[in-house]
Amino acid sequence: MAQTKKISSIGALAAAAAFTFILPSLAVSADTTSPFVGKWVLAIDKSTFDPPPAPKSETVTTTPATGGGYHVVIDSVDADGSKSHLEYTTANDGKSVPVTGNPNIDSLVSTQINSHKIKNVFMKAGQPVATGTVSISKSGKTMEGPLEGPDGNGGTWKYHDVFIRQ
């Protein structure tokens, strides 16, 4: 994937979402569930992509991980039809964790800001390739936030992703 294309995230995020993509929230106890846990689908018509094109689709699935924290899976289909898959497990504690499935990302630092907001920094070889925050709406039905990174030409790509809970 070229640097001028969105880094699948939050989440990519990712995620970005994930972006950033992203993404998950505080560790889950027996009686507490994070508002980030669930399946989220990118609302392309409500999101912005600079530069275009928008992806054809993106899904973020966040589940509680064994021992606390969260496991995040991001599946995307880019505008050209190519597919990408990204996975990581994080406790949102500001510690670097490995990311698998995307050759442009090898780690993530995810930090809890509050119960409905997380900051994510996706990295490759110790250098940030995408940074963003993601927030859950008060209703719990949408997850959104900006994600941006260097485009490899001295500029920056900037996206604002809006996801709908499924």
What domains, with CATH codes, occur in the chain?
10-165 (2.40.128.20)
Query: What's the pLDDT score for residue 67?
Result: 81
**Beta partners for residue 7, in sequence order:** none
Q: Which residues contact 100 (CB under 8 A, 6 or more apart)?
A: 86, 87, 88
Query: What's the pLDDT score for residue 66?
Result: 87
Query: What's the pLDDT score for residue 32?
Result: 52
Query: What's the pLDDT score for residue 33?
Result: 80
**Residue pLDDT, tens place only, 83-115:** 999 999 999 999 999 999 999 999 999 999 999
CA triplet 12, 82, 135: central angle to 5 degrees? 15
Residue segments in the chain with a per-residue pLDDT below the cut of 70: 1-32
Backbone Cα Rg of the chain: 14
Dihedrals phi, psi of 56, to nearest 5 degrees? -75, -35
Query: What's the pLDDT score for residue 13?
Result: 35
